[in-house]
Structure formats: structure tokens, C-alpha cells
Structure 1
């Protein structure tokens, strides 16, 4: 199994001090986190895209290019690129450039996005939310296959013998579709033969099994080889020496995280400790606990989904960089080796 970490670059206040770090400091810390992940031997590092003042990363390709300069082997991906409002040509050329800079380490996870601020920002109608994504993902795949592209669609200007430059070092960029819980999105990933990246942020993982089954069914019906299909699972993660310590330390950050995310969506709600305890219980998808418990949860999900990649989000809720780095060290040293060993059997 490939294992890595990702960040959305959120700029939340530290719940203990009330202080929020600057965008420039957050970006420097993200670059350093990518270097630490590479040094620790992780396989993948991802950066999300948001167009808000309370997030630091509106352009994953630029930040990943900076990380490419201080890393050697780790794969670099968006988590995710909001393809409904991105020009597929611009997205492909940005990540093909990243692939050249990183010597063949670029990937794209494309999604429809959990926020909608990019629609008015780039002049798109929210009522075209799904149709935009469908058109753009198909064009992105064609750009990935062909150097000279002729194409006609509804939402952007047509292409006639357009040269798409640069070409990536890889024969094709790996493209995944990020899915939060929509059956139609899982089926689309299968139908188009992309990877499936599941964002499982809570609840019972069993609820996501039908999405994986639907992905494989749609792919096989569309004529794609089972061997070419890939599933990734992502999840919020916090690790400490023992589970009680992990829950005690993480609750203020996690409650804080959902407080400002819900506020961004127009809701004034906070997570109670009892709700958090339920979310962090052994049978749920929230990865909070000792290295042993985190390992067990990853392996339980692997038995359920048979996925090839796990990506943890470890830096949410206004945590200090030193705390995130400490969690990464535990993850890399005490979780990853066991997961790799057990999943390679």
C-alpha cells in the first residue's frame, strides 16, 4: 500500500492561544512538511485547492513545485483540484510542468469541490455544477493522451489542432476522481477508468463499501481492466503514544476545525466532547489514537475496500507545526512499516 499525507492549508486559530498564523508562514510550513514526509519515506504528499482567505493554497501546482525542489522521491498530487471551475488545459499544463520539475512525480486528484466560491470567482453558473465536471474531466483525459488536440464542448472555447505543452515525463499523468459520498461520482470514476479517491471523514466505513463496489462494476462494464483500477482512502488523523492522550489532545483542535468549517457554511455549531468520543470510537473512520489503534483501523479498512493507497490529513484545527511534525514521526515510524508489511502479504 502507498501511504502519505495531505493538507488543505486551512488558516484556523489555535484554540489554546487564539492566534492565527500568516499565509506566508503556513505556506513555509507546508513546504517543510512535504520535506519531512519525503525524508520519512512516505509515498505521497497532497495539497488541496480553496479560494478563500481562511485557506493558504489556491494553487496546488505552485506549492507542489516548491516542494519538488526540496524532495527527491515522494509523489506530489492535488487533493483535490476543483475541476468544475478550472480550465482543463491550464490544469494539465500546470501539472505537466510540475511533472517535469519533479522528474516524473506529479498526479492529479480532481473533484467537484466541497465549497462553491470558485463558481462566481471564475464566472461559472452553479447550476452547471455536475455538467462542468463531466465535460472537463473528459477533456483532461484527452489532453493527457494526445499532444495535438481537437475538441468541441459546451463550456469553453473549442480546440483545433491545439498543441498541449509541455508533455509530462510520465507517459500519462495519473488522474484520480475525488469522491465524498456520491454514488454517481464513484460510478463516473469507474466508467472513465480513473482512480477513485474516497474522502472518509467519519462514520462507519461500511457505508462507503457500496461506492467501491459501484466503482469496480462501472469500470468493468465500461471495458476497463480490473488490474488498472486503483482506490485511495483519505481521513483525518491524529496520533499520540496512547489513545486517551490522543483524544484529549486532539479534541480542542477537531472541535475548533469543525466550528470554523461550519461557520464558513453559515452554521454556528460546535462539536461536543461526547460527539467527538463517538466519532473517535474503534468502529468509525476517524483515525485518532495510539499507533496500534491507527494501524488496526487502516488494516480493517484495507480488508473492507482492498485499497492501494491511504492518505492522512494531520494538520487541521490550528495545530502548531511542531505538533504536526511529532505526529508525522509517529505515523512514519510506528504505523507505516506495519501497514506496509501486512498489506504486502
Structure 2
């Protein structure tokens, strides 16, 4: 089981002091968080992509991830998300192949459509074509990584003639890809069609909805012949804040929750903890809550936590990572290992494992249908 941290890079005032960090402070704090994530014994650090305030998360995540790669040894580097809709697939292919080389293969990506509507016209696209963009752009990206010479034409970018993306992927093997989606069955289908991973960032959603999306992906993964449904690659998002005494955790975190741009001035902290995976309390409460996630979605491979948000000071964030590394993650690793059925992977494929499989395993260069084929499955997942 892989555990890690993901950051969206929000630049938010600390509600207890009123101070907002500078952009330089926030960016450097994200690098420090990555270093500390590795030191604490966690596995993954994922960086988001935004192009607008109040975020400083890079519009070009490979720049930050390359810096982190130079400062770490074992940490798996990922994104949360790479905008497959508004980025040029040629640029994605080149940037992340370069990052692969710099990081000695410690790279995977999470493809997504983002949560900021205006980003589409900023880059010359129409948000109403978001699904079609995700399908076409990802199909082209796969070809750029897997074919030396690409001849291609499509709807959303200029044609390519005898084009070779450089540098080529490290060892001739593309990075492993997750497809991130909260409510679009078409994206779950896309992940299943290619045999890729599916990441449900369920930080704002009840587990009943998360289970529907993940189970849809699992069924379609098996339908497309990539293995049993329980062998599909699943990742989940999460949010926690911990102190040894649960009352202290609630008292300290409440002002950050109440004023957070993403959920402040809405449901109460207690309501949000009841209805979503947000867990504010003792380390044991977090262990007990997250140990049950597999009861809803099956045994999964990656759990990422959002820690550095809502204006929390860096000191508090690093303390949370220490608690995860010292108390929570070891207990969860043991819990998940004990229950995992034989033949179900405990992590996403590493670069070395993908090299051993060969570049053509589980790959079909055919554009999938936009919608799920089985109409009964369509009805099970609602927006």
C-alpha cells in the first residue's frame, strides 16, 4: 500500500494570525513538505496544477517535481492533477519524459480535467468539450510515448506528420497513469479501457458515491481483459488533522475549516466529518476511519492525504506528516496487508516493473467510446 501527500498549493491567509505567506514562501514550503514526506517514510508526493489565484501550484508541475527529485532519493513523484484537457499532449509527453530521466523513473501522473471552468477559454478550449478533449488528448499522448514516429490528426490540435517526441521515455517505457475523476463515468471508463489506474479524490463526497465510481471502474477493467476487478489500480484522496487528544485537534483545526475558501461558511466541521473522509481527531481515530475505506471500495493501492491547505502553518503541516509516518501509516500498512487477497497488487506499478512487463503490455491504441457501454452501469453513477 502506498501512502503519501498531495498538495493543491493554495495561498490562503492563516485565520488565527491574518498573515498570508508570500508566493515564494508557499512554493518553498511545498518543497520542504516533499522532503519531509520522504523523511517520514511515506511513499508519494503529488503536486497539483492550477493557473489562477489563490493557487501557486505550478502551471508546469514538472518544474517543481524536478526540483524535488534532486532533493529526494526514493519518493515517488506524481501530479494531482495534470490537465489533459487544456495542455498540449506533445508538451506533456516531452516534459514528463524529461522528468522521468531526471528522477530515475520515480514518476507517474494523474490525468484530470481540473476544477476551474475559466481555464478552458484561457487556453482556447470550450469546457463543454471537456470529456472529448480528455479522450482525444490522452489517446495522442499514449501514441507519442509509445511510437517513435507519429502521424496524427484530430479535432483539437494541428496535425502531426512524422513527429517524434523527445526525449523518449526512460528505458522506452511511459510513466504509469492514473485518471482522476470525482463524478464522470466516462473517465472511469477511460481508465478501465487502457488498464490504467483510477483515482477518486473523494475529499468532498460521501463514501457511497465513491464506491459507485470505483466499482464501475473495476467492472470495466475486468470487462476489457486487464485482470480481475479486484486487481484494478485504485487510489483515494483523504483529509486529516491530528493531535494526541481529539478535543485539541478539533479546537485547533476549527478556525482553519471555518474560513477555508473551499468549504468555509458551509456545513459545520462535524457535518463535514460525518459525510466525507475528513477526520479531525486522534491518530487512533484516523487509523480506525481509514482502515474501513477498503470495506467500501475494495482493497486499493494508493492513499493520498491533503494536509497543507486552508492556511495551516508549515510547522503544523510537518507535525501532521510526522504523526502519519510514526503512528498512522505503519498501523494502516499492517491492516491493509493482513486483509489483502492473494493476487491483488499492493502498489501501482513501479518503473522497474513496467520495464519488466514490456512497453506494449495492456496497451490498445484505439479510442474508447465516450460513454459506458452497459446502460445499467450508467444508471448506477450519478453526478
Verify same fold: TM over 0.5.
yes
- In structure 2, runs of 5+ residues without a counterpart are 339-383
SS across alignment from 1:153: coil
Q: Is the 8 A contact 1:99 1:168 kept in 2?
A: yes
* Shift, 1:204, TM fit: 3.1
- Using the size of structure 1 for normalisation, the TM-score is 0.92
Show the counterpart of 1:188: 190
Show the counterpart of 1:337: 330
Show the counterpart of 1:318: 311
Show the counterpart of 1:135: 136
Q: Is the 8 A contact 1:203 1:279 kept in 2?
A: no
1:40 and 2:40 correspond: yes
Show the counterpart of 1:288: 280
1:173 and 2:175 correspond: yes
Q: Is the 8 A contact 2:131 2:186 kept in 1?
A: no
In the TM superposition, structure 1's runs of 4+ consecutive aligned residues that sit over 4 Å from their partners are none
SS across alignment from 2:74: coil
* Shift, 1:255, TM fit: 2.1
Q: Deviations over 1:170-220 (max 9, x none)?
A: 522011100112333222221232100111114531321111111011122
Find the partner of 2:236 among 200, 216, 233: 233
Please give the alpha-carbon distance, in whole angstroms, between the structure 1 residues aligned to 2:321 and 2:101: 28
SS across alignment from 1:261: coil
Where do 1:226-265 residues align within 5 Å?
226=228, 229-257=232-260, 260-261=261-262
Please give the alpha-carbon distance, in whole angstroms, between the structure 1 residues aligned to 2:90 and 2:100: 15
SS across alignment from 1:38: helix
- Provide the aligned C-alpha RMSD in A: 1.7
Q: Is the 8 A contact 2:11 2:26 kept in 1?
A: yes
Show the counterpart of 1:24: 24
- In structure 1, runs of 5+ residues without a counterpart are 263-268
SS across alignment from 2:68: helix
Please give the alpha-carbon distance, in whole angstroms, between the structure 1 residues aligned to 2:3 and 2:21: 28
SS across alignment from 2:262: helix
Please give the alpha-carbon distance, in whole angstroms, between the structure 1 residues aligned to 2:152 and 2:223: 26
SS across alignment from 1:280: helix
Q: Deviations over 1:66-121 (max 9, x none)?
A: 11111000110110011110111101211111111111111110101111232122
